[in-house]
Amino acid sequence: MDLSSIYLPVILMGLLALGTWWLVRNAPKPQSVREQAVAGHEVDYYMNDFSVRSFDGTGVLTSEIQGNKMRHYMDTDTLEIDTATMRSIRQDGSTTVATANRALSNADGSEVQLFGNAKVVRSSNKPGAPQMEFRGEFLHAFVNEERVSSNKPVEIIRGQDRFTADSMVFNNITQVAELKGRVKGVLQPAR
């Protein structure tokens, strides 16, 4: 009896180990993890001849986007618009209208790239404040920062004054235009 009480725990442990080994050997194999298919740069939805308007909480129009065709790409969450016209109305009543043959915008519209016959016109409702116009084959607008830049030749028209440059950065908040490359300007005298 003493001998069986000594070896009984060892025999039970051996049986448990053998049972565990048998369970592990006969258990189903884990399923291989399937890699999710990487979405290519494909259109997930589009709109033809569209107009999208945004309003503030009081029902006042704040922005409008129009175009012949709009495509949304899910992998980059970007919008591509053919024959784009974008209008933004600020709280002070000033308006900014951007047009181009093609526009590329991020999801929230805070960054817009304009390609082909790009033009951004900023009108002010302040008396005596001249209209600003930017023209070029490429313009990059940062809406929230009120900044327009281009690494290609541009023309800036401010009232009767005209400037051309190989590249530029314009900050509307500081009212500073940084022109680079071959810069030419024509300043008309005040009348």
Residue 16, domain member (yes or no): no
CA distance 1 to 95: 101
Could you give the 3-state DSSP secondary structure of residue 65? strand
Number of domains present in the structure of the chain: 1
Residue 37, domain member (yes or no): no
For strands 95-106 and 111-123, give the pairing: antiparallel
Arithmetic mean of pLDDT over the chain: 87
Residue 26, domain member (yes or no): no
Beta partners for residue 135, in sequence order: 119, 155
Tell me the CATH number at 153: 2.60.450.10
Beta partners for residue 139, in sequence order: 114
Residue 35, domain member (yes or no): no
Residue 82, domain member (yes or no): yes
Q: How confident is the model at residue 35 (pLDDT cuts 50, 70, 90)?
A: low
Cβ of 107: how many Cβ atoms within 10 Å? 11
Residue 155, domain member (yes or no): yes
Write out the residue range of the structural domain in which residue 52 sits.
43-186
CA distance 73 to 125: 37
Q: What is the pLDDT of residues 81-103, one digit of tens each?
A: 999 999 888 888 888 899 999 99
| Residue 97 one-letter amino acid | V
Share of the chain above pLDDT 70, in %: 94
Residue 89, domain member (yes or no): yes
Q: What is the pLDDT of residues 37-66, one digit of tens each?
A: 556 778 888 999 999 888 888 988 888 889
Please give the residue that has the higher pLDDT: either 178 or 146: 178
Residue 126, domain member (yes or no): yes
CA distance 120 to 167: 15
